[in-house]
Amino acid sequence: MNPIETLAACAGTWSGPSTLQDPMNNVAEESASTLTVTPVLGGRFVRMDYTWAYQGKPQEGSLLVGFDPKASALSGHLIDTWHVGYGAMAFTGTPGADSTLTVRGSYAAPPGPDWGWRIDIAPGDDTLRITHYNVWPEGKEDLAVDSVYTRV
């Protein structure tokens, strides 16, 4: 089964805690989160729409993930109300040895060099975990967001 088929098998509604490692004050903030997983374009892509909150203010986002079997390459696009703002972040990746899908992108951080962003999507039997990492220009990775969902 290709990785998108594995992710498409998670279609439906999920809920669980989402923990943000708040960069403003270096404190973890947990909020309730919902996730809807939807295969699109005949299963070529999977869209994951999610909600969460930051300091009580509702947030939302969407991650579109695809897989090109000929190139054995993952692609992704992230839009959201908090991390990306009014833009979209593009990602690429390759499937892992297990069922985890990992994609990497970058974002501008003027006046310095670009920073990276990594997303791991780990479908399990009863859970779906999505973990985001902020990647320093030197390669160090810091946990940014960890969301663990169970099917509703």
Eight-state DSSP code of residue 95: B
Domain range list for the chain? 3-151
Kindly report, residue by residue over 66-111, the tens digit of the pLDDT: 999 999 999 999 999 988 889 999 999 988 778 899 999 999 999 9
Among residues 129, 126, 116, the alpha carbon closest in space to that of 19 is found at 129
The mean per-residue pLDDT over the stretch 128-133 comes to: 97
pLDDT of 23 above 80: no
Among residues 94, 122, 140, 90, the alpha carbon closest in space to that of 10 is found at 122
pLDDT of residue 124: 87
| Angle subtended at Cα 89 by Cα 119 and Cα 17, rounded to the nearest 5 degrees | 40
The CATH H-level superfamily of 3-151 is Calycin beta-barrel core domain (2.40.128.20)
